[in-house]
Amino acid sequence: MPSYKAPVEDMMFLLRDVFRSDAVFAEMPAQTDTDCDTIESVLEEAGRFCSEILYPLNMTGDIEGCRLENGKVITPKGFAEAYKVFSEAGWGGLSASPDYGGQGLPRTVQILVDEMLSASNLSFGLFPGLTRGACETIEAHATEDLKNLYLPKMIAGIWTGAMALTESNAGSDLGLLKTSAKPRDDGSFTVTGTKIFISSGDHDMAENVIHLVLARLPDAPAGTKGISLFLCPKFLVSEEGTPGAPNNISVGALEHKMGIHAQPTCVMNYDGCQGWLVGAPHRGLAAMFTMMNAERLFVGVQGLGVADASYQTAVTYARERLQGRTPGATVTSPIIDHPDVRRMLLSMRAFTEAGRALTLFTALEMDREKFHPDPEIRRAATGLVALLTPVIKAALTDFGFEATVLGQQVLGGHGYIREWGQEQVVRDARIAMIYEGTNGIQAQDLVLRKLTLDDGQPVVRLFGLIRKTLDEAEPVPALASVRHAVQNALAHLESVTKRLTSGDLSSAEERNAAAVDYLRLFALTCFGWLWLRMAHAQTEAGISENGNKPAGKLATAQFFADRILPQTASLAVQIGAGSASVMAPDAGQF
Amino acid sequence: MPSYKAPVEDMMFLLRDVFRSDAVFAEMPAQTDTDCDTIESVLEEAGRFCSEILYPLNMTGDIEGCRLENGKVITPKGFAEAYKVFSEAGWGGLSASPDYGGQGLPRTVQILVDEMLSASNLSFGLFPGLTRGACETIEAHATEDLKNLYLPKMIAGIWTGAMALTESNAGSDLGLLKTSAKPRDDGSFTVTGTKIFISSGDHDMAENVIHLVLARLPDAPAGTKGISLFLCPKFLVSEEGTPGAPNNISVGALEHKMGIHAQPTCVMNYDGCQGWLVGAPHRGLAAMFTMMNAERLFVGVQGLGVADASYQTAVTYARERLQGRTPGATVTSPIIDHPDVRRMLLSMRAFTEAGRALTLFTALEMDREKFHPDPEIRRAATGLVALLTPVIKAALTDFGFEATVLGQQVLGGHGYIREWGQEQVVRDARIAMIYEGTNGIQAQDLVLRKLTLDDGQPVVRLFGLIRKTLDEAEPVPALASVRHAVQNALAHLESVTKRLTSGDLSSAEERNAAAVDYLRLFALTCFGWLWLRMAHAQTEAGISENGNKPAGKLATAQFFADRILPQTASLAVQIGAGSASVMAPDAGQF
């Protein structure tokens, strides 16, 4: 039956051999203690918690789901207890500021733990994930009073956070939102409106829920420039930090969703509740967006996590399941011996390991952005993070979903029923392509904003890093064919990028029509680059000094180069065809 | 809110203008009355039934699901009544033999109605679909007595059929099955064993369920050559055709599935029940396979149907939903105006309309195979049907599923919740990639058997038909760029086909590793071919005489050529890379 083992070995290979994180953190005064041995013990501890506590609750949570009773959300059996253990062990404050009780570990460690949480129990993982997002927003924008009152309890996991953005007529286009906020005499505000799709909107796992609500002040300009952010607690908090009277916040309904059934996605009514402004008036969207890179990286990692969970189950099943005979076999074969089953498993693995590498690369840049003393390095890191964030969010959830569909297919009929959990993983994985900005919106962000950010310097820098890896691999004969495939992919990407930024495809309409295919081309090229780096680190000629050599890296790199990376050529042709055929039909002709 | 309108106009365009079905049926003595006007009125009537009766039951059936009470399966509210109306109107016997009360209409009409049933209510459509499969098997292989006793009631929908093949250790590899059958003195048999994943295994919609069960006789050789087929009714039937005492058949459990919740997928126990041999001893698998082409075409059409249902909902939503502004717009735009949303909708449409065309092309060949007086034409048709069956089953369900995922994405968060039904369609669509032989198995069938069938004549014939369409399109300037794209795709397909059948990729291992990518390349090329035919039929230069010109055909053909067909180039490269990287890792390295 299925189980989950955290991929600590692969994570440590990336940190030690591929990205040499000891040297990276040694440059950051706040992180000089963060060596690989420390990280490894954190990861092993987190992995144990995820395998032993969270993974067994994943299927029972899906079956039981959340329910609304007398206006209160009840989470599935075991969730509240697990959250208590989780919080008491300090997992909620791993990367939070030590000023408010956090452990101050780098984003890199946080994101590796996030992968495990997502893999073992996506519904559960959203509770601390959203709380962290809320904390980061509060820390960056709220007054000292609000920070001191709310952050310690939230970081300790005693209270959780929720982000209330979407309304029924304002999703991708938040400029349309209608929730209002009116000033009170005491400096606080009265917030009124209804929000939908609010994850962790209400539950029984913590003593308070702190809502960050986007709303309009009376004098607000129309559109996105008139949105402000308000902190609205479920229970009003005394000056000593004790929750007291209920605020006027109620659960309108629980959504019936395809998956993440153990996560309460609520319609929330803010019925003239009391709220406090976070950040400047009319600057709420900007405040919310300060934590958006981190949130989107987190969502990308969700796609990665569920894909790995699905992969692990598919491998277990494929080893045990005897069916058919491979060419030349005299007895029934385990299906892992059939070439087409191997193709499916390798496709999943080629994605998860490259996706993990891209995540780690980006998380290290986020840590540089936050902790590095050199402003030039910080600036460069900011650009790379901004560029890669939409790629990670969209590509890791698109490919992650595709991987879970493959992981289900490996099990045949047994993948369609509850038994092995593979169908749940598909249903759960699907949400990550939608929330925190749909993947179409991410692609628009990449093509319309990020390619031209800072005069295109981040793109130039990234392509330079890819070329550096190509150069370093050149003397190694074992890498020649992978290297050649990556070189081709980069050529396609560079050529299309030029057309989109300054060539025949640079109009807003052309970029919009090209965006999703372009993001896929971009991501596949990055994956190819990182496969070449990983394969290089595993060869004798590689510069590894730690001897951590997970099996099959070069083989998987070769598979990726042979069987997946060629897609970049077609994507370049598809993008190159332009928007004409997309725009041709009248709306009435669909 | 969502609704479903049967695509009768598009179906009639294909019949009248693209495939000229009047001329086709005029050559078949048994079908000379089947003209387009007759078909159109049948389709309109079926479409009304599907829109008005079945579609409203689709979501309620999903929510309520089937349940097992005191050993009996209860189907969701409204299903039994709808099935009664359906049967009394004669829909169950549309293409069944008039000798046993059927209407004897061609497969072509049946498959168009099947698309509507699948689109409006996949769970429901399986009841008559499986009954038809059982009837066709009985008619082809059972004794006259069994035929006379069972077929009239099954064709009338008074009884339904179930196909009991799979066991827990015998799925793709039926040679491993263990259910036994022992002869009784009266010429019947005692059948003992447990089957899983039995669709329509038990229910409350008809007075009897007729199980066709694969089992082994005492003297059976091992493997697939020792399997016989038995007819086992839920209630034993008197000589007068009245159901009486229960047979020893019971429901072990209802499976908890990802989707098709209104379809009872059962674990069935045959506890020494009485059964009657159908066909020769040890030839049960062959008997079952006589109806496999039709069943697999039916499953392919399920993928097509659900994709069209999802498309219709996505278009409705995209027209109504206002969000964001397109370049130059001064007010909020309906999302159907955004290029990326159009890309998603056109991808769905480009698939469904080409998939429908491929289905109809194949169904017409099935009708030629059955009804045409010329044995040469029948033989040619048999080859084409055998070749295209795995392509249709796998490609229409793979692309169909991908289309439903796009249809869900168009709705953003509203696609992930129950409200518009888009998430149900994704869950329902997923099964069709698995049952009736997984899509991996279909690809093996194509590459290992069908390519070399009859010395490869069917493939040569199909490629010849594609070239004929290319030649006919050559003089038409408006078709030049679509034609060019199809020509490229065909060149890739022909080159790879040669390598797989007689070249460097012709070993069993290479073919197995190439199969899924090859089937996709094959299907895309067929879709391209049919888009060219459809576009041609819509141009002034086309040979249409009926003037039925659905909007947007040429535009969609161009979109397909520009934005999807280029994938064939990459697929050819991927296949060409061979199996080495697929086979490289040890089983322990996964």
pLDDT in tens, B505-537: 999 999 999 999 999 999 999 999 999 999 999
Q: Report the candidate in B512, B445, B449, B504 with the shortest Cα–Cα distance to residue A339.
A: B512
A416, A408 contact by CB (below 8 A):
yes
Instruction: Give the pLDDT confidence of A151-209 residue by residue, as tens digits.
Output: 999 999 999 999 999 999 999 999 999 999 999 999 999 999 999 999 999 999 999 99
Residue whose tokens read 């659900």 = B306
pLDDT score recorded for residue A230: 98
For residue B577, give the chain A residue with the closest CA: A562
- B319:A508 CB<8 A: no
pLDDT at A463 over 80: yes
Identify all chain A residues contacting B416, using CB atoms and an 8 Å cutoff: 257-259, 430-431, 434-435
Whether the pLDDT of residue A549 is over 90: the answer is no
For residue B569, the chain A residue with the least C-alpha distance is A570
DSSP state string for A253-268? EE--BSS-TTS-EEEE
B222 touches chain A (CB under 8 A): no
Res B170 pLDDT > 60: yes
Give the separation between CA B542 and CA B563, rounded to whole angstroms: 24
How big is the CA angle at B307 (ends B306 and B310), to the nearest 5 degrees?
85
User: Quick one: pLDDT at residue B83?
Assistant: 98
A222: left (phi over 0), alpha (psi -120 to 50) or beta: beta
CB distance from A197 to chain B under 8 Å?
yes
Q: Is B149 exposed, middle or buried (0-12, 13-18, 19+ CB in 10 A)?
A: buried
Nearest to A581 among B315, B415, B563 (CB): B563
CB count in 10 Å sphere of residue B376:
8
B172 vs A323, A579, A588: nearest CB: A323
Tokens of A582: 């997309």
Residues of A in contact with B588 (CB under 8 A): 551
| Best mutation target, B62, B123, B258, to test chain A (most A CBs within 10 A) | B258
Ramachandran region, residue A256 (left: φ > 0; alpha: ψ -120 to 50; beta: rest): beta
Nearest CA in chain A to B560: A581
Q: Considering the domain B291-437 in this protein, what is its CATH number?
A: 1.20.140.10
Burial environment of residue A157 by CB neighbours within 10 A (0 to 12, 13 to 18, 19 or more): buried
Q: Which of B411, B439, B149 is nearest to A415 (CA)?
A: B439
End-to-end CA distance of chain A: 46
| Per-residue pLDDT tens over the stretch B448-496 | 999 999 999 999 999 999 999 999 999 999 999 999 999 999 999 999 9
Q: Residue A276: phi, psi to the nearest 5? A: -125, 135
Q: Average of pLDDT values for B110-119?
A: 98
Rounded to 5°, angle at Cα B226 from B222 and B227 = 125
Residue A268 has pLDDT above 60, yes or no: yes
Q: pLDDT category, A545, cuts 50, 70, 90?
A: low
Cβ–Cβ below 8 Å for A318 and B507: no
Chain A interface test: which of B581, B583, B586 (most A C-beta within 10 Å): B581
Per-residue pLDDT reduced to its tens digit, B309-361: 999 999 999 999 999 999 889 999 999 999 999 999 999 999 999 999 999 99
Considering only CB atoms, B512 lies closest to which of A171, A338, A586, namely: A338
- The pLDDT of residue B540: 66
Per-residue pLDDT reduced to its tens digit, A225-258:
999 999 999 999 999 999 999 999 999 999 999 9
Does residue B458 belong to the interface with chain A, where contact is any CB pair within 8 Å? no
Shortest CB distance from A569 goes to which of B340, B408, B570? B570
Report the C-alpha gap between A554 and A552 in whole angstroms: 6
Give percent of chain B above pLDDT 70.
98
Question: Rounded mean pLDDT of chain B?
Answer: 96
Cβ atoms of residues A423 and A326 within 8 Å: no
What's the complex ipTM? 0.97
* DSSP-assigned letter for residue B326: -
Residue B343 and residue A401: Cβ atoms within 8 Å?
Answer: no
Q: With beta carbons less than 8 A apart as the criterion, state whether B287 and B137 touch.
A: yes
Catalytic, B436? Answer yes
Render pLDDT for A117-140 as a digit per residue (tens, 0 to 9): 999 999 999 999 999 999 999 999
Banded pLDDT at A503 (limits 50, 70, 90): very high
Write the pLDDT tens digit of every residue in A311-331.
Answer: 999 999 999 999 999 988 999
Pick the catalytic residue: A167, A295, A423, A436? A436
Q: Per residue in B241-282, pLDDT tens?
A: 999 999 999 999 999 999 999 999 999 999 999 999 999 999
Q: Do B327 and A439 touch (CB under 8 A)?
A: no
Contact list, B564 vs chain A (CB under 8 Å): 574
- Chain B 160-189, residues with CB within 8 Å of chain A CB atoms: 166, 169-173, 176
What does the alpha-carbon distance between residue B426 and residue B437 come to, in Å, rounded to a whole number?
Answer: 19
Query: Which 566-585 residues of chain A touch chain B by CB within 8 A?
Result: 566-570, 573-574, 577-585
Adjacent-strand bridge partners of B122: none
Spell out the domain ranges in chain B: 8-289, 291-437, 446-581
pLDDT, position A451: 97
Q: Grade residue B290 by pLDDT with cuts at 50, 70 and 90.
A: confident
Above 90 in pLDDT, residue A449? Answer: yes
Q: What is the per-residue pLDDT for B539?
A: 83
Integer Cα distance of A369 and A559 in angstroms: 34
Distance of CA A437 to the CA centre of its chain: 11
Question: Tell me, what's the pLDDT at B548?
Answer: 58
Least CB–CB distance from B438: residue in A197, A412, A509: A412
List beta partners, residue A250. A269
**Contact status of A318 with chain B (Cβ, < 8 Å):** yes
Report the alpha-carbon distance of residue B108 to residue B145 in Å, rounded: 30
For residue A13, CA distances in Å to A18, A353, B430 come to 7, 11, 36
Do residue A513 and residue B340 have CB atoms under 8 angstroms apart? Answer: yes
Structural contact between residues A230 and A274, judged by C-beta atoms closer than 8 angstroms: no
Looking at residue A540, its pLDDT comes to 67
**Residue A273's beta-bridge partner residues?**
A191
Q: Measured between CB atoms, which of A326, A340, A581 is closest to B515?
A: A340
Cβ separation of B327 and A413 shorter than 8 Å?
Answer: no
Select from B288, B290, B261, B304 the least CA-distant residue to B114.
Answer: B304
The pLDDT tens digits of the residues spanning A36-82 come to 999 999 999 999 999 999 999 999 999 999 999 999 999 999 999 99
Confidence label for A546 from pLDDT (cuts 50, 70 and 90): low
Closest listed residue to residue B127, CA positions, set B278, B263, B274: B263
The residues in B 340-379 lying below 8 A from A, measured between CB atoms, are 340-346, 349
Q: In angstroms, what separates the C-alpha of A581 from chain B's closest C-alpha?
A: 5
Q: Which of B166, B555, B567 sits opposite A584 (nearest CB)?
A: B555
Q: Which of the following is catalytic: B436, B472, B474, B509?
A: B436
Indicate yes or no: CB of A513 within 8 angstroms of CB of B339. yes
In this complex, is the C-beta atom of B409 within 8 Å of any C-beta atom belonging to chain A? Answer: yes
Q: Do B578 and A558 touch (CB under 8 A)?
A: no
User: Looking at residue A25, what DSSP letter applies?
Assistant: H
Q: Could you say which of 2.40.110.20, 3.30.2130.10, 3.40.50.620, 3.30.390.10 is the CATH number of the domain covering A8-289? A: 2.40.110.20
pLDDT: which is higher, B540 or B344: B344
Asked if the Cβ–Cβ distance from B409 to A566 is below 8 Å, we say: no
The answer to whether residue B323 neighbours chain A at the CB level (below 8 Å) is yes
Radius of gyration of chain B (CA): 24
Which residue among A332, A434, A585 places its CB closest to the CB of B555? A585
- Residues in B touching A508 (Cβ below 8 Å): 327
Across residues B128-145, what is the average pLDDT? 97
Taking an 8 Å cut-off on Cβ atoms, the answer to whether A327 and B512 are in contact is: yes
Q: Is pLDDT at B541 greater than 80 in this prediction? A: no
Which residues of chain B are within 8 Å of residue A423 when distances are taken between CB atoms? 257-258, 430
DSSP state of B65: -
Residues of B in contact with A256 (CB under 8 A): 417-418
Give the model confidence (pLDDT) of A16-34 as tens digits: 999 999 999 999 999 999 9
